[in-house]
Amino acid sequence: MSTLAPANTKQRRPMGKPALWAAAAGVAAGAAGIAAGELTAGLLSPLVSPVTALGGAVIDAVPPGVKDLAVQLFGTADKIVLVACIVAVAGILAALAGLLERRRTGWGLALAGLAGAAGLTAVVTRAQSSPQAALAPIVAAIVTMVLLRTLVRRLATWAPSQEAHGPEQAPLARRSFLNALAGTSLAAVVAGTVTTVLTRATAVASGFRGSMTLPEPATPAQTIPAGASLSLDGISPLVTPNADFYRIDTALTVPAIDPPAWKLKVTGMVEREVEIDFATLLAKPMTERHITIACVSNNVGGDLIGNALWLGWPVRELLAMAGPKVGADMVLSTSNDGWTASTPLEALTDDRDALLAVGMNGEPLPLEHGFPVRMIVPGLYGFVSATKWLTELKVTRFADDTAYWTPRGWSDHGPIKTQSRIDVPRSGRSVQAGKVQFGGVAWAQHRGITRVELRVNRGAWQQATLASAISTDTWYQWQFGIDLTPGDYEVQVRATDSTGEPQTEGKAPVAPDGATGYHTINVKVS
């Protein structure tokens, strides 16, 4: 074929060194892959970027002498130098991957895969890591490999190592490769720019968070009574660590708020509008309380509930400064990202210690839990009370305003329903015959739990041991040992609150205002 079209060879422009193009393909694919990975991290898990994690791992691995030398040489620019080194190494590896892939299909991909594995290891071994952080290096590796493969294949069509294709294909093939190379480079620049904009705000917010100290509470938390925490393997800890705390919100990316720029406004049906900044809020007399918050979407037996030690200024104090007008019955709280919740005014002004929370378990609020300020209201589901990244409280009426979830099929009111859960044994587990220990948690925030009972195979209810409470606003642990002979059993739990009303037996779905029914588990005794 090639002999048939000598004229076409004239149109073939010189391509320079194919090896250089292969290296360029590697660099473009690598840059786009890394940018895609960083973007994924920025969207999902802003605190663990693969590049930063790798840099951290390098810092940890470098002997102290070298570290000191670097600080001596570069001073405070040592971080910039480190980043420059990472970029240089990544660039060289990417170029090498391009060259290798052109030499032999799969070799460059293998190198990209190795780099991805290094990033994955660095990310999952970092302290702040969450399971979703693993996605970023995986995305980076896959994107790099796919682009590298595509680019090198097109390059091979344009500049085949043996003359396998006719020269009449060359101009087309050339355009195809250069277009792909340009597209890949453009994608890398766009993804890189978006990531930089996105993570700069996060870095500022988490930098502030890392260097701030929480004020001492004027009203410290009640001491946890001895015996509130049962020592039963597998039972939910009485206080949920921040890292294990459930997270629910509509935010695609975690809002990053710089506290010095933060303000909370009180508007609407008030005598005078009030505005408070972060420094002023921190200087107020703080209250510390253990409060168990729960999500209305928590299914019976589900884990969208957690108990934390919150530090904050009572919402009622701020509302008192503004002076709600007669006739108001609701506060519409708004988040920085526009999300809203409708909370009965009553719940924010009575003595229940609804808080403008700044602290969670002794730390400033984690970014994903509402940094710098969120609301925490004992007794109400999160969707009508626990606004994160709080920016405005509008005093209004249920008749005049609706919150985010109300037109979407959920209630405008959301008192937490009395519920109980079996944590141990896990449903479906087999256990040894004899005395089988059951244990779990029960909650009826702001009313308190007075009794927890278990029944086996729908027999008589038997009373479990109820641990002492921190307060009625938190969950309670319970435990009960039952003698069981080999066989299959169905075990159910129910709690009774201080009104004397046992939890509802009839099953209700989570919408519109919270699930009901008994948590039911199956155990195999052998």
Ligand X SMILES: Nc1nc2c(c(=O)[nH]1)N[C@H]1C(S)=C(S)[C@@H](COP(=O)(O)O)O[C@H]1N2
Stretch that binds Mo ion, among 34-42, 136-144, 242-250, 362-370 (CB under 5 A): 242-250
**Among residues 307 and 496, whose Cβ is nearest to Mo ion?**
307
Stretch that binds Mo ion, among 162-170, 231-239, 348-356, 382-390 (CB under 5 A): 382-390
Q: Does 383 bind Mo ion (CB under 5 A)?
A: yes
Q: Does 246 bind ligand X (CB under 6 A)?
A: yes
Cα maximum dimension of the chain: 97
Q: Minimum distance between the CB of residue 251 and ligand X, rounded to whole angstroms?
A: 6
| Residue of the chain from 92, 212, 248, 251 that contacts Mo ion (CB under 5 A) | 248
**Among residues 374 and 494, whose Cβ is nearest to Mo ion?**
374
Residues of span 150-189 touching Mo ion by CB under 5 A: none
Helix (H) or strand (E) holding 445: none
Q: Phi-psi category of 306—alpha, beta or left, where left has phi over 0 and alpha has psi -120 to 50? A: beta
Q: Does 388 bind ligand X (CB under 6 A)?
A: yes
The separation between CA 269 and the C-alpha centre of its own chain, rounded to angstroms, equals 35
| Vertex 121 angle, CA 116 and 127, to 5° | 135
Task: Please count the residues of this chain forming the interface with ligand X, following the rule CB under 6 A.
Answer: 18
Q: Minimum distance between the CB of residue 402 and Mo ion, rounded to whole angstroms?
A: 17
Lookup: tokens for 276: 């408070």
Q: What are phi and psi of 360, to 5 degrees?
A: -135, 115
Q: Does 245 bind ligand X (CB under 6 A)?
A: yes
* Residue 136: C-alpha distances to residues 149, 304, 462 (Å): 20, 25, 50
| Residue of the chain from 149, 290, 352, 369 that contacts ligand X (CB under 6 A) | 369
The separation between CA 470 and the C-alpha centre of its own chain, rounded to angstroms, equals 28
Stretch that binds Mo ion, among 49-57, 105-113, 165-173, 376-384 (CB under 5 A): 376-384
Peptide bond into 509 cis (omega under 30): no
Q: Helices 18-44 and 107-125, interaxial angle, to 10°?
A: 30
| Residue of the chain from 12, 247, 397, 447 that contacts ligand X (CB under 6 A) | 247
Residue 212 near residue 204 (C-beta atoms within 8 A): no
The closest alpha carbon to 254, from 380, 411, 132, 384, belongs to 132
Per-position x/- string for 319-348, each x denoting binding to ligand X as judged by CB under 6 A, each - no binding: ----------------x-x-x---------
Q: Which amino acid is at 403?
A: A
| Residue of the chain from 387, 471, 472, 477 that contacts ligand X (CB under 6 A) | 387
Q: Does 262 bind ligand X (CB under 6 A)?
A: no
Lookup: tokens for 68: 């000191």
Residue 343 near residue 375 (C-beta atoms within 8 A): yes
Euclidean distance between CA atoms 141 and 113, whole angstroms:
6
**Among residues 250 and 465, whose Cβ is nearest to ligand X?**
250
Euclidean distance between CA atoms 52 and 514, whole angstroms:
41
Residue 327 near residue 400 (C-beta atoms within 8 A): no
**Among residues 339 and 383, whose Cβ is nearest to Mo ion?**
383
Q: Minimum distance between the CB of residue 372 and ligand X, rounded to whole angstroms?
A: 13
Q: Minimum distance between the CB of residue 298 and ligand X, rounded to whole angstroms?
A: 8
Q: Which residues of 373-391 are buried (b: 16+ CB within 10 A; e: fewer)?
A: bbbbbbbbbbbbbbbbbbb
**Among residues 58 and 248, whose Cβ is nearest to ligand X?**
248
Q: Which residues of 280-313 are buried (b: 16+ CB within 10 A; e: fewer)?
A: ebbebebbbbbbbbbbbbbebbbebbbbbbbbbb
Q: Does 511 bind ligand X (CB under 6 A)?
A: no
Q: Does 341 bind Mo ion (CB under 5 A)?
A: no
| Residue of the chain from 42, 119, 382, 439 that contacts Mo ion (CB under 5 A) | 382
Stretch that binds ligand X, among 22-30, 59-67, 92-100, 385-393 (CB under 6 A): 385-393
Euclidean distance between CA atoms 322 and 265, whole angstroms:
10
When CB distances are held under 5 to 8 angstroms depending on the partner's kind, the choice from Mo ion, ligand X, none that residue 366 binds is none
| Residue of the chain from 158, 208, 262, 383 that contacts ligand X (CB under 6 A) | 383
**Among residues 369 and 519, whose Cβ is nearest to ligand X?**
369
**Among residues 101 and 368, whose Cβ is nearest to ligand X?**
368
Three-class secondary structure of residue 506 per DSSP: coil
* Residue 115: C-alpha distances to residues 100, 123, 149 (Å): 14, 12, 16
Euclidean distance between CA atoms 59 and 29, whole angstroms:
26
Q: Does 352 bind ligand X (CB under 6 A)?
A: no
Q: Does 250 bind ligand X (CB under 6 A)?
A: yes
Per-position x/- string for 277-306, each x denoting binding to ligand X as judged by CB under 6 A, each - no binding: ------------------x-----------
Residues of span 283-302 touching Mo ion by CB under 5 A: 295
| Residue of the chain from 310, 389, 443, 480 that contacts ligand X (CB under 6 A) | 389
| Residue of the chain from 38, 249, 288, 497 that contacts ligand X (CB under 6 A) | 249
Residues of span 179-238 touching ligand X by CB under 6 A: none
Q: Which amino acid is at 39?
A: L
Residue 339 near residue 250 (C-beta atoms within 8 A): yes
Stretch that binds Mo ion, among 62-70, 205-213, 246-254, 408-416 (CB under 5 A): 246-254
Q: Which residues contribute to the site for Mo ion (CB under 5 A)?
A: 248, 295, 382-383
Binding-site ranges for ligand X (CB under 6 A): 245-251, 295, 335, 337, 339, 369, 382-383, 386-389
